[in-house]
Amino acid sequence: MINKLIFLTFAFVTCLFIPANTQSSKLDFKIHPDLRDLIEKEGAADLIIVFHDQADVTGAYKIRGKENKGRFVFQKLRAQAIKSQKRAIQLLNQSDQTFDAFYIVNAIHTEVNGQLLEKLAELPEVKMLIPNPKVSLEVPVDQQNTALNFRNAIEWGIAKIGADQVWEMGYQGQGVVIAGQDTGYEWDHPSLKEKYRGWKNGEVDHNYNWHDAIREISSLHGDAERTAEDNDCGLDSAIPCDDHNHGTHTMGTMVGDDEQGNQIGVAPQATWIGCRNMEEGWGSPASYIECFEWFLAPTNLSGQNPDPDMAPHVINNSWSCPEIEGCTSENWSLMQTVISNLKAAGVVVVVSAGNGGRAGCATVQAPAAMFEESFSIGAMAFNDTIASFSSRGPVLVDGSGRLKPDVAAPGVLVRSAIRGGRYASFSGTSMAGPHVAGLVALIISANPSLAGEVETIENIIRRSAIPTTTEERCGDVSGTDIPNNTYGYGRINAVKAVQEALWFFDDEKLGNQGVFLFPNPASELLQFRFRDWQGSSILAIFNSVGQLILEENWELNPSDVQSVELENFTEGIYFYKITGESREASGQFIKNR
């Protein structure tokens, strides 16, 4: 997996020297002190302008349907940003300054000199001006350097969580879109090409399916002068490209399958889209926010015509931004707001917990894994024990004491795709997160009515996880408790998660009779779920010629579940009738092998 370290630095452009009398002002409370130091030293500073007013999108939680949620959130966020940012954008345009105006969080990323810094701070709608630090990604923990080009087997992580058993049930991620923001993706890798949303009928279209947030070369590669030509993908690439291997590896674990024996992906019939947020492992809060915003409403390659209907169902985030190396409490709120808005829009945000676990407890301490809104993932080994590197909770850096991770997944020696059409095994929580993103796809493919219901999906994964305990005590939570700060709720279980997902239904499935049968057809067990039934009821089952086969008496409660064993039933069509104290229900089901 990938162990990401984050270092504080800034991109600079030499501008005018700022006189000493501009070094402080009555607006100091708005201006981060590092910005003045940077401008004095370099002439300009890379920063983020944060505005007071943030859109209220909580109304989305009352809306049904992922597309409806996404449109509502998109419209609310855009309207607030346009209203708040007008005067700041005018100042930037007057200064011929380039900028990125965000709406997923009400903020602008730009670069300014001292004079423009003061003018922006004078605007009453501006809350604060903060640095945009760079962050870095190191190679995965215990990376295996030998790339295995072929292996005819389902990968151990897929088998461990039971994803292959879910495939046999008929659910492989059909109709679900998975997104990833990372070092980029080799879109035409044999295990990824057929799964890419931009590949249809032998033709490729990257509009709405790919975005590159990298438009400058990082200065954090040492003293050597670097240009765009030094990066394998260049800058602002119009074609999906991976300059590191890490992104391709994570996407392979989510959807990969070359149909030649490399069954590396949890949800092989899901489709994927991607955004590059790091330049050879180096990114910034602005590049992460840009990718998150693009996922909320993907655009064409020119960055125009955003469409929230093209948003993914789930986003994998195998990166972190530790406070000690640049992401401070002053900018945590930006990313937290971004993730909260995506969640309101019906998008599940899966985040790797981090690789600081060798330092013990309270090592989930960086965005985005530390946030309550993130679904944070620890890493487990073959024998269902926590990986030594997997970060533990609780979250103490913000004073919350929040329990993390949420769940754990396979993350040691995970074999997946890398550049050049090859395969390799990496270890890290970066490898665990994609297993969970793939599981989200399996859940939605099994029950499409759950699309957009983020909290329900997350709760299904928590409840269905295999409870896992430890002697390790972190914070006030014993390792023998469930959940705990080592494994969360435990190791994910795809079979149980999908089975539970199939039990969630909308009013259309219940119908006027208030009864839902699952599964139908059924082979061994037929289950009835009720809404608003109460008291004594009689179930009668008849064969296709009307003969009574089974009769049972049930004492029902609202939202009750009852089961019927079908082991002695022959194959065919059966009819049922349920007679209650004040209502009746009837229908049919099929018994198969």
Closest of 532, 484, 515 to residue 587, by C-alpha? 515
Q: Give me the phi and psi of 133, to 5 degrees please.
A: -70, 155
Closest of 413, 497, 502, 515 to residue 458, by C-alpha? 497
- Domains of the chain (ranges, CATH numbers): 20-136 (3.30.70.80), 153-503 (3.40.50.200), 507-591 (2.60.40.3080)
Q: In whole angstroms, give the CA distance from residue 309 to residue 520.
A: 31
Distance of CA 281 to the CA centre of its chain: 19
The residues, ordered by sequence, that sit 6+ positions from 56 with a Cβ below 8 Å of its Cβ are 76
The residues, ordered by sequence, that sit 6+ positions from 104 with a Cβ below 8 Å of its Cβ are 77, 289, 292, 293, 296, 338, 341, 342
Indicate the residue type of 77. L
Q: In whole angstroms, give the CA distance from residue 556 to residue 535.
A: 5
Q: In whole angstroms, give the CA distance from residue 518 to residue 502.
A: 8
For each of the chain's 593 residues, which pLDDT tens digit applies? 444 422 222 232 222 233 333 445 677 889 998 898 889 888 999 999 999 999 999 999 999 899 999 999 999 999 999 999 999 999 999 999 999 999 999 999 999 999 999 999 999 999 999 998 776 664 455 454 444 444 557 899 999 999 999 999 999 999 999 999 999 999 999 999 999 999 999 999 999 999 999 988 765 555 457 788 889 999 999 999 999 999 999 999 999 999 999 999 999 999 999 999 998 888 888 999 999 999 999 999 999 999 999 999 999 999 987 765 557 888 899 999 999 999 999 999 999 999 999 999 999 999 999 999 999 999 999 999 999 999 999 999 999 999 999 999 999 999 999 999 999 999 999 999 999 999 999 999 999 989 999 999 999 999 999 999 999 999 999 999 999 999 999 999 999 999 888 877 655 555 678 888 877 788 888 888 887 888 999 999 999 888 999 999 999 887 778 889 998 899 888 999 999 988 899 988 888 87
Strands (DSSP E) found in 368-439: 375-380, 407-410, 414-418, 422-426
- Residue-level pLDDT at 508: 54
Angle at 220 between CA 214 and CA 223, to 5 degrees: 130
The residues, ordered by sequence, that sit 6+ positions from 327 with a Cβ below 8 Å of its Cβ are 6, 133, 135, 285, 321, 366, 367
Residues constituting the chain:
593
* Helix or strand holding residue 49 (H, E): strand 45-51
Residues 423-440 as b or e (16 or more Cβ within 10 Å = b): bbbbbbbbbbbbbbbbbb
- Residue-level pLDDT at 150: 44
* Helix or strand holding residue 39 (H, E): helix 33-42
Report, as residue numbers or ranges, the catalytic residues: 182, 246, 430
- Residue-level pLDDT at 146: 43
